[in-house]
Amino acid sequence: MTPQRRKPVPEPDSQLFPQCRHCVSTLGLIKMRKVVLVTGANSGIGLALCQRLLSLHAESLHLCLACRNMQRAQAARSDLLASHPAANVDLLQMDTSSISSVLIAAKEVKARYDHLDYLYLNAGIMPNPKFDVKAFFKGLFSSNVVTMFATGEGILTQTDGVTPDGLQQVFVTNLFGHFLLVRELEPVLYHPNRTSQLVWTSSSNAYRSAFNLEDIQHQKGTQPYSSSKYATDLLSLALNQHYNKQGLYSSVICPGFVMTNLTYGILPSFPAFLWTLLMPVFWLIRAFTNTFTLTPYNGSEALFWLFRQKPESLDPFAKYHSLTSVLGNNYTQPQKMDITLETSESLYMKLLQLERKMRDKLSENENSTC
Ligand SMILES: NC(=O)c1ccc[n+]([C@@H]2O[C@H](COP(=O)([O-])OP(=O)(O)OC[C@H]3O[C@@H](n4cnc5c(N)ncnc54)[C@H](OP(=O)(O)O)[C@@H]3O)[C@@H](O)[C@H]2O)c1
C-alpha cells in the first residue's frame, strides 16, 4: 500500500507565536504556567476576559488568543500588552467555521504547549439578524416582557449561510468547529493529577423549541443562533459524561445582554448616538432584570468566575449567568438548564458521526489532489 501524503502544515510563524524564538528556554516556564486558550479573543467578551485574567494572574498565565483575523488579533495583543507589558500572550490563527483551519490550528497548539488548562470556546456569530418589530411591541405589552428583554425570545431571527465545507455557517462557527477543536486537543487537555476546563459562551437565547435533533445544523429554521446555543448546552453536558474521568470538565455561561459588535449587528443601521441615548433606558431595565450586564467587562463575569472554581464542584446541568445589579455590582449565578441527558447523548453521537464524515471528506479531497 502506498503511504498517503498529508497536506503540509505551515511552520510556526513568529508573528503568530511571538515567543517562538525563545521556545527552548520558555518551555519549562510554560510547563509551570497555566495555559489558557480563548477563541474569539480579539473583541467583546473574549477580549474583556483576557484583560481580567491578566489583571490578576499576568505572571502565572500563558494566554493564547485564537482569532480568525490576525490584524485584529495583533491589535488585541498590543492592547493587552499595553496594560500588562510582562504578560505572555501568543496568537493563533483559527477560523472556527473552517474544518481545515481548526485542524491546522489544533496541530499548532499541540506543537507549542504540552498542556492546556483552560479552553474558552467563546467565538460566535449571529449573522443577518432580523429584529421582529411587531413581535417586540406585542411582547412589550405582554406578561413575557421581562423574559423578552432578558433573552431576546421571539424577537430575533437570522438568515444563515453554507460554508465551503458544506456546513451551516452558524452551526459550524458557534458549535461544530469548537467541538472538533476539543476533540483534536484531547491529548493536551487530559493530564494526570490535574484538572482542565472547557468553558462555552452560550446564551439565554438557547431554546429547546429552536433545536431539532433531526436537523442539528438548523437548515430548515430561522433561528440558527438559538439552535446552536441550545446545542452548546447539550454538548457541554455530554462532554462531562464522557470526559470527567480524564479530569476534563465542561461548563456553559450566559454573559447577559452585552453591547458588543454582535449586538450592534442586530440593528446595523441604528446610529451610534441612538445606542448612547438608549443606555440610560438599559440601566433602568436593570431594576427589573439583572441580565443587562451591558459592558464586555460585566459580561465576562461568569467566565472569570469559573476560572477560579474547582471544576469538580460545578453542576453540569447548570448554566452560569453573568449578572449585574441595579447598583452595578457583578456576580455569577447558576440556573438549571432545560436539557436532558438522553438528548445530549444523542446530539453527541450525531456530532461524532458528522466529524467522521468531515474527516473522510477531507482525506478524499487530499487523496484526489495528490
Ligand atoms: N453580546 C451579547 O449580548 C451576547 C449574549 C449572549 C451570548 N453572547 C456570545 O458571546 C460570545 C462573544 O460574542 P461578543 O458578544 O463578545 O461579540 P463580538 O465582539 O462580535 O465577538 C465575537 C468574537 O468571535 C469571533 N469570531 C466570529 N466568527 C469567528 C470564526 N469563524 N472564527 C474565529 N473567530 C470568530 C469574532 O472575531 P472577528 O472580530 O474576526 O469577527 C470575535 O472575536 C459569542 O459566542 C456570542 O454568541 C453574546
Q: Is the pLDDT of residue 224 over 70?
A: yes
* Rounded distance from Cα 289 to ligand 1 centre (Å): 23
Query: Would the CB of 123 count as within 6 Å of ligand 1?
Result: yes
Give me the domains of the chain, ranges plus CATH numbers. 20-369 (3.40.50.720)
Rounded distance between C-alpha atoms, residue 326 and residue 310, angstroms:
29
Burial 277-290 (b: 16+ CB within 10 A, else e): eeeeeeeebbeebb
Query: Closest Cα to residue 189, out of 271, 273, 120?
Result: 120
* Rounded distance from Cα 123 to ligand 1 centre (Å): 5
Rounded distance between C-alpha atoms, residue 325 and residue 334, angstroms:
16
pLDDT, tens digit (0-9, with 9 covering 90-100), for 276-319: 888 888 888 888 889 999 999 999 999 999 999 999 999 999 99
Query: Would the CB of 203 count as within 6 Å of ligand 1?
Result: yes
Rounded distance between C-alpha atoms, residue 45 and residue 123, angstroms:
9
- Residues labelled catalytic: 225
Q: Is the pLDDT of residue 63 over 70?
A: yes
pLDDT, tens digit (0-9, with 9 covering 90-100), for 330-361: 999 999 999 999 999 999 999 999 999 999 99
Query: Would the CB of 260 count as within 6 Å of ligand 1?
Result: yes
pTM of the predicted protein model: 0.90
Which of 38, 50, 65, 68 has most ligand 1 atoms within 8 Å of CB, for mutation?
A: 68
Rounded distance between C-alpha atoms, residue 224 and residue 213, angstroms:
13
Give, to the nearest 10 degrees, the angle between helix 99-112 and helix 341-369. 90
DSSP string, 171-198: HIIIIIHHHHHHHHTHHHH--TTS-EEE
Query: Closest Cα to residue 243, out of 197, 202, 180?
Result: 197
Query: Would the CB of 173 count as within 6 Å of ligand 1?
Result: yes
Q: What is the pLDDT of residue 31?
A: 64
Residue 163 amino acid letter: T
